Amino acid sequence: MTTATEQAAFDSLNPATGAVVGTHPRHDAEAVHAAVERAGEAARWWAGLGFEARRRRLLDYKAVLVANLGRIADLVQQETGKPIGDATLETVLTITHLDWAARNARKVLSRRRVSPGLLGANLAATLEYLPLGVVGVIGPWNYPVFTPMGSISYALAAGNAVVFKPSELTPGVGVLLAELFRQSVPEHEVFQVVTGLGDTGAALAADPGVRKIAFTGSTATAKRVMAACAANLTPMVAECGGKDALIVDADADVAAAADAALWGAMSNAGQTCVGVERVYVVEGVYDAFMRELTERARAVRTGEDYGPITMPAQTEVIRRHVDDALAKGGTAVVGGAESVRPPYVDPVVLTDVPEDSSAVREETFGPTVTVRKVASAEEAMRRTNAVSYGLGGTVFSGNARRAMELARAMLSGMTAINSVISFAGVPSLPFGGVGDSGFGRIHGADGLREFARPKAIARQRFPLPGMTITSFRRTPAEMDRLVKLITFLHGRRRR
């Protein structure tokens, strides 16, 4: 007899052609809970293997991904429409992050001694980071390998089992990643995938067996996921997109800045959470920058250099932002309203767009960019930090010290200098944002700790003579000695 869960299914489509790529089950809450229960059992086995055994298996999984790189990239291209080169690059970066997580988990998370301080001179203090258990990952469609694996790889390396709910637009990629993992870890279901629509993700977030949720998506959806997590006090790491800015200082390499701005804005059809959506150029180099940018933008080939808009509804968001920018006095120096021709959007470069327009304030997630002339880099920074998002950003400057000062002043989780989105390719750097861009971190040591719980242990090695202070047998003399010691150690005022 066929169950209701088995009957319900949905198709993933190629956004460029509309062709069916695959058909997948719509897992309901019961199916999700069953997966979480299996993951709980697998998590206990996986954690018990220890760092070295997990490292070997994850490095073997890395080799499996390399052997199937073409297969993965091909499926990414089919489900997202992006060029095969971009799909390949995404998979390559994923492999480097998996390698880093596997090789560094022991160093970051294993037990180590910490100083107990003078008052704890009779104690041995240790700190370690233990697995959480089952981690639920809710992934996006724009980078269906790189982004979710930024959580999955680090969660697995930290000793957890993972239940992954991929986007309903790219479910086949998620299924393939888990299928390939079983080649390296066949004994238990350490890495599972549940497929479906929003209700499947909601069921995963609300399941009491999940110890943490890693979510990537819109700010509005993140709030709904947080509400589901709240019922069980399930912690969450959220990456919610951005409105990243690129600042071009007066002494910047203008040609390099324009090339980076174009790639950051247009690659993957602008469907990049850390893509460039705003550019602020100091007036002395503005004209030269615009010449470089417009010349390059007009040479971009829609459908070849980047693919279609993967999520059909997003074309209307892009259209609304372009129309609003033009209605409020902005100028389209490349493209315009006619550039939106679903499922494709041609490059759009807008200037003189008011800062209160949706094209400046809201995430567009399309191949559009606004450029504004500013009097100084300081003005550029004020405008950069005036939006509610704070994910990534870029600074181009010929002065290394000034560039670093500007990068540090940028209200974002990551900043690239004289390059674009380069921080995402450095496995040791944490990735995440502030404000409406979310909270928590993936990647790097912070990403490993994000999927572990700190465990602190203090062991008394011997009693302190004459200092029995945590007992009802303590004497006034002992308390007097304690006060004198604290006064000696900490009583001096320092200015």
Catalytic residue numbers read 239, 273
DSSP E strand boundaries for 217-346: 236-239, 244-248, 276-282, 331-334, 340-341, 344-345
CA separation for the pair 450, 448 (Å, rounded) = 5
Structure token digits, residue 402: 């000034």
CA separation for the pair 363, 438 (Å, rounded) = 14
φ, ψ of residue 281 in degrees (nearest 5): -120, 125
CA separation for the pair 57, 113 (Å, rounded) = 28
Start-to-end CA span in the chain (Å): 79
CA separation for the pair 181, 393 (Å, rounded) = 34
CB atoms within 10 A of CB 478: 15
| Cis amide prior to 343 (ω within 30 degrees) | yes
φ, ψ of residue 14 in degrees (nearest 5): -75, 115
Structure token digits, residue 86: 């971009």
DSSP 421: S
Structure token digits, residue 293: 């940018």
Residues 6 or more apart from 462 whose CB is under 8 A from it?
122
Please state the separation of Cα 461 from the chain's center in Å. Answer: 43
CA separation for the pair 124, 421 (Å, rounded) = 44
Query: CA nearest 142: which of 364, 346, 336?
Result: 364
